[in-house]
Chain A
Amino acid sequence: MEKNKDPGAWNPYLAGALAGLVSVGSVWFTGKYFGASTTFVRGAGYVEQMIDPARVKQLEYFVSTKPVIDWQWMFVVGILIGSFIAAISSGSFRIQAVPDMWQKRFGGGLVKRGLVAFVGGTIAMFGARLADG
């Protein structure tokens, strides 16, 4: 139904299959498997280092996952840049702080959406780390 309203979109099967090829190429040429959540641990380590560096040295989890900028950190930054390039080049870049579906159900309030997104992100990352994903 909505397919014609979005002319810059690629077929999701094709885009997904190409993403699969990129992941295979990555494993082939550099031995790196895709992942994102470890980077948020390193990011948290950086933030805490600015506030309380002694605490970061104490915590076992930050000792094994040190705040350093590694392959995955740059991969995560790359996702943002790649998405930006694709969005700008196809005219689908759009500044939006409250998604359409959210707005229809919960209204356009920035604080409500921000608060739920923050809490959701916190729970999701805690779960991801617990499952080692």
Chain B
Amino acid sequence: MTNDQLYGLLTGILFGFLLQKGRVLRYDKQIGALRMLDMTIVKFMMSAIVVGMVGTYLLVDLGLAKLSIKPMITGAIVIGGLLFGIGWGLFGYCPGTSMGAVGEGRLDGLWGIAGMVAGAALFAEVFPLLKNTVLKWGDFGKITLPQVLGVNHWFVIIPFVILTLLLFRWLEKKGL
């Protein structure tokens, strides 16, 4: 095993352990969030995003890390996001959590994993058609919110953290 593979494995084990402990791997939790009945996943996800956002930008400011920015291709992101949502609602797991779900014994994850491999194969088949159409619609390149707003990134991060904490308080009040 190469070092890269070993680090990937160890990181995945830690992440999978926490996903299971946080109870976000289950169909009932994922569909529960989409049905606005149980916000466990939202709590887990937003906590991870806030900590990840602050930590990653600290590393960037200290010159210890580089951002990996995806291009803002509006057409592809909007259509892709809508399809992803439909698929997620049917399957009940997302790509990463489906593996974790199988790890805790939820065997229906395997059907969807097979489906995701099929979906990736299908995408590879039609990619030449998409390349010059959907994947070009509204392409703004690799941009970030602070860049578009023309402000230092902490002027986006700090309000985001505050809004997330307010969301958490509201969720707790509502008993979600």
The chain A residues found within 8 Å of chain B, CB to CB, are: 6, 8-10, 12-34, 36-37, 39-41, 43-45, 47-48, 59-62, 69-87, 90, 92-102, 113-133
When A29-B7, A79-B12 are in contact, do A126 and B25 touch as well, CB less than 8 Å? no
The smallest beta-carbon distance between B5 and chain A, in angstroms, is 4
When A83-B101, A130-B79 are in contact, do A120 and B92 touch as well, CB less than 8 Å? yes
How would you classify the secondary structure of chain B's contact residues: helix, strand, loop or mixed? Answer: helix
Q: Which residues of B contact A113 (CB under 8 A)?
A: 108, 111
Inter-subunit contact B92/A99 (CB<8 Å): yes
Selected interface stretch from B40-48, B143-151, B152-160: B40-48
Inter-subunit contact B49/A86 (CB<8 Å): no
When A19-B22, A36-B95 are in contact, do A131 and B81 touch as well, CB less than 8 Å? yes
Q: Which residues of B contact A97 (CB under 8 A)?
A: 106-108
Q: Which residues of A contact B41 (CB under 8 A)?
A: 12
Quick one: closest B residue to A48, CB to CB?
A: B121
The 8 Å CB contact of A96, one of B5, B64, B107, B128, is B107
When A6-B23, A85-B13 are in contact, do A79 and B125 touch as well, CB less than 8 Å? no
The 8 Å CB contact of B17, one of A75, A85, A125, is A85
The chain B residues found within 8 Å of chain A, CB to CB, are: 1, 4-28, 31-32, 40-41, 43-52, 55-56, 59, 64-66, 68, 70-71, 73, 76-77, 79-92, 94-109, 111-125, 127-128, 130-131, 134-135, 168
Q: Which residues of B contact A121 (CB under 8 A)?
A: 87, 91, 98, 111-116, 118-119
Inter-subunit contact A83/B17 (CB<8 Å): yes
The answer for the CA separation of A123 and B81 in the assembled complex, in Å, is 11
Most buried by B among A36, A48, A72: A36
How would you classify the secondary structure of chain A's contact residues: helix, strand, loop or mixed? Answer: helix
Q: Which residues of B contact A101 (CB under 8 A)?
A: 27-28, 31-32
When A23-B52, A74-B12, A81-B103 are in contact, do A119 and B20 touch as well, CB less than 8 Å? no
Q: Which residues of B contact A92 (CB under 8 A)?
A: 20, 104
The smallest beta-carbon distance between B50 and chain A, in angstroms, is 7
Inter-subunit contact B80/A87 (CB<8 Å): no
The answer for the CA separation of A17 and B13 in the assembled complex, in Å, is 16
The answer for the CA separation of A39 and B108 in the assembled complex, in Å, is 20
Knowing that A102-B108, A117-B91 touch, tell me 20 more A-B residue pairs with CB under 8 angstroms.
Answer: A8-B21, A13-B47, A13-B168, A16-B18, A22-B14, A23-B55, A36-B95, A72-B8, A75-B8, A75-B11, A79-B13, A79-B103, A82-B15, A99-B26, A99-B108, A122-B115, A122-B118, A125-B87, A130-B83, A132-B71
Inter-subunit contact B104/A12 (CB<8 Å): no
Inter-subunit contact A17/B8 (CB<8 Å): no
Q: Which residues of A contact B105 (CB under 8 A)?
A: 87, 93-96
